């Protein structure tokens, strides 16, 4: 209790930054300091309660005693500088709790999942949804491009790249080099006049026709 009390006194009376080597520490206002301490204490008690509820039935210990051991484990994990206190927290608890069994190891793994992994996944999903909603127009544009390229690349991957274009050549022998019929008269007129004929598959593409050799050549 001495350290929190000194911290509150410094926040109440110290208005200038505290110089510690090359670091300047500016104490917050007393109201903010009390709020910080309350939130930190509530978070610590929730973490201790979550692990205490998961303890095996053969580990008989009161909540206050377990909270003291848990606080010591947290301090040792902070001093070790191991990310998340992985392994250090578990070692201290297994060593200090009475009647430690294999069930305690399972309890510690479940605690890691509930108090660390589950909030991490929830936070990642929430941030991803918020980001997608904020950049919805850009995401829609990228999705359209992805669908377009998928429709082009996927058939080639499935067929092993053996895709041939269908032959859209037009046989004008019966129309321009021999007898003419009423069904082929639009094509004959286009050939005789050296005009253009719409491409049968792509309406916006046209071909120039050579009336002398009946050869279809693209513009």
pLDDT-derived band at 121, boundaries 50, 70, 90: very high
Instruction: Write down the pLDDT at residue 160.
Output: 63
Instruction: Write down the pLDDT at residue 100.
Output: 66
Instruction: Write down the pLDDT at residue 202.
Output: 46
Neighbouring C-alpha atoms within 13 Å toward the C-beta of 90: 16
The predicted-structure confidence for 145-161, as pLDDT tens digits, reads as follows 887 777 777 776 777 65
**pTM for the complete prediction?**
0.55
Average pLDDT on 93-102 reads 80
| CA 188 distance to own-chain centroid | 61
Element (H, E) at 18: strand 18-20
Q: Alpha helices of the chain — where are they, by DSSP H? A: 2-13, 30-53, 63-80, 88-96, 102-112, 118-134, 136-158, 173-176, 185-192
The predicted-structure confidence for 20-74, as pLDDT tens digits, reads as follows 777 787 888 888 989 998 999 999 999 999 899 988 888 888 899 999 999 999 9
């Amino acid at each position: 209790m001495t350290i929190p009390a000194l911290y509150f006194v410094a926040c109440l009376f110290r208005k200038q930054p505290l110089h510690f080597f090359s670091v300047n520490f500016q104490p917050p206002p007393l109201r903010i300091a009390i709020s910080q301490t309350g939130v930190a204490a509530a978070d610590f008690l929730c973490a201790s309660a979550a692990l205490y509820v998961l303890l095996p039935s053969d580990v008989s210990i009161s909540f206050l005693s377990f909270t003291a051991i848990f606080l010591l484990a947290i301090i040792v994990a902070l001093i070790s500088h191991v990310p998340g206190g992985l392994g250090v927290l578990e070692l201290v608890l297994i060593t200090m709790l009475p009647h430690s069994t294999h069930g305690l190891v399972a309890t510690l793994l479940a605690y890691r999942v509930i108090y660390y992994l589950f909030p991490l996944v929830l936070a990642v999903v929430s941030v991803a949804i918020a980001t997608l909603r904020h950049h919805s127009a850009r995401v829609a544009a990228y999705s359209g491009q992805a669908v377009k390229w998928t429709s082009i690349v996927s058939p080639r991957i499935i067929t092993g790249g053996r895709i041939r274009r269908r032959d859209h050549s037009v046989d004008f022998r019966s129309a321009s080099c021999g007898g003419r019929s009423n069904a082929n008269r639009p094509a004959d007129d286009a050939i005789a006049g050296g005009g253009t004929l719409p491409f049968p598959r792509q309406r916006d593409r046209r071909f120039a026709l050579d009336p002398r050799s009946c050869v279809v050549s693209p513009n």
